[in-house]
């Protein structure tokens, strides 16, 4: 039998399986999960404590109803339905939550945000056929190591029983010289994205993190709509 001592805590470990269980417990003890807002220790993989959770500025919208995001999208492209989970606030919790997901390497935060989303979205009879994510620029993907929308979307796909496709939309990028040359006669959103395969007769839900100007969402939506006989709806974590 082997005997281990960690910071004065003595324990006997006779099987390697016990060590495997013990290591995460030790890590939890040394680096407990803390609330993003008040720093209180919290259980599991949650992002905020119960006290801070009630401070999150959720939209409380219904997917099928008219709302501010749908109105914004309608100005840019034909949209069926639109839903934002939270209002994005520069000084608020929604910013901390999305920044944790995007810039603090907390990829699993997407799973928690997906749970909050699934609890609040009811498609009624308008359930989309496919979930599609906006691709990251390859430079950002290399730096971050993951697309922050993937775990989020995969969890929602499982909950809603709707397939997802992370590869449908491809981000186009020109070589620098060509981009500079073309810049003067190229509109900002032209040819930013393309489809990797044709889609028809589908109601596609496009998923992104924050809706700000809508330029990205519009460029993706038009690529899908161009392929014909498709309709699009929009779901974002937050509306700026
Ligand atoms: Zn808290």
Distance from Cα 214 to the centre of ligand 1, integer Å: 31
Per-residue pLDDT of the chain (240 residues; tens, 9 = 90+): 455 555 555 555 556 666 676 776 777 677 789 999 999 999 888 999 999 999 999 999 999 999 999 999 999 999 999 999 999 999 899 999 999 999 998 999 999 999 999 999 999 999 999 999 999 988 899 999 999 999 999 999 999 999 999 999 999 876 554 555 555 555 544 578 999 999 999 999 999 999 999 999 999 999 999 988 999 999 999 999
Domains detected in the chain: 51-239 (3.40.50)
Distance from Cα 41 to the centre of ligand 1, integer Å: 8
Residues with CB under 5 Å of ion ligand 1 are 35, 37-38, 40, 49, 52
pLDDT at 10: 58
Distance from Cα 37 to the centre of ligand 1, integer Å: 5
What φ, ψ does residue 195 adopt, rounded to 5°?
A: -90, 140
Alpha helices by DSSP H, listed for the chain, are: 16-30, 50-53, 68-74, 93-103, 109-120, 138-144, 150-160, 176-183, 215-226
HSE value, Cβ hemisphere, 13 Å, CA-based, for 89: 12
For CA atoms 69, 73, 74, 75, give the dihedral sign.
Answer: positive
Distance from Cα 166 to the centre of ligand 1, integer Å: 33
pLDDT at 219: 96
For CA atoms 208, 213, 216, 217, give the dihedral sign.
Answer: positive
Q: Could you give the CA distance from residue 79 to residue 12 in angstroms, rounded to a whole number?
A: 62
Distance from Cα 74 to the centre of ligand 1, integer Å: 37
Q: Could you give the CA distance from residue 33 to residue 46 in angstroms, rounded to a whole number?
A: 8
How many residues comprise the chain? 240
To the question of pTM greater than 0.75 for the whole model, the response is yes
Distance from Cα 98 to the centre of ligand 1, integer Å: 16
pLDDT at 189: 45
pLDDT at 29: 72
Q: Check: CB of residue 214 under 8 Å from CB of residue 53.
A: no
Distance from Cα 99 to the centre of ligand 1, integer Å: 16
pLDDT at 46: 94
Q: What is the DSSP string of 189-217?
A: TTTSEEESS---SEEEEEEEEEESSSHHH
pLDDT at 185: 53
Distance from Cα 12 to the centre of ligand 1, integer Å: 36
Distance from Cα 33 to the centre of ligand 1, integer Å: 11
Distance from Cα 46 to the centre of ligand 1, integer Å: 11
Which residue shows structure tokens 């939550």?
A: 97
């Amino acid at each position: 039998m082997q005997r281990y001592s960690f910071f004065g805590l003595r324990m006997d470990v006779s099987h390697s399986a016990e060590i495997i269980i013990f290591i995460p417990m030790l890590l939890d003890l040394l680096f407990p999960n803390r609330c993003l807002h008040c720093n209180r220790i919290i259980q599991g993989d949650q992002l905020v404590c119960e006290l801070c959770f009630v401070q999150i500025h959720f939209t409380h919208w219904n997917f099928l109803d008219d709302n501010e995001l749908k109105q914004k999208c309608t100005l840019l492209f034909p949209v069926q339905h639109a839903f934002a989970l939270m209002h994005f606030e520069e000084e608020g919790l929604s910013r901390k939550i999305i920044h944790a997901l995007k810039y603090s390497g907390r990829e699993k935060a997407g799973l928690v945000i997906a749970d909050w989303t699934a609890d609040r979205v009811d498609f009624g009879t308008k359930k989309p056929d496919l979930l599609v994510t906006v691709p990251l620029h390859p430079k950002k993907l290399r730096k971050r190591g993951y697309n922050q929308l993937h775990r989020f979307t995969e969890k929602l796909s499982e909950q809603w029983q709707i397939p997802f496709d992370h590869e449908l939309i491809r981000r186009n990028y020109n070589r620098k010289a060509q981009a500079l040359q073309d810049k003067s006669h190229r509109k900002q959103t032209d040819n930013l994205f393309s489809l990797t395969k044709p889609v028809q007769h589908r109601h596609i839900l496009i998923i992104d993190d924050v809706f700000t100007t809508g330029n990205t969402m519009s460029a993706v939506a038009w690529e899908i709509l161009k392929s014909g006989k498709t309709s699009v709806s929009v779901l974002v974590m937050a509306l700026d």
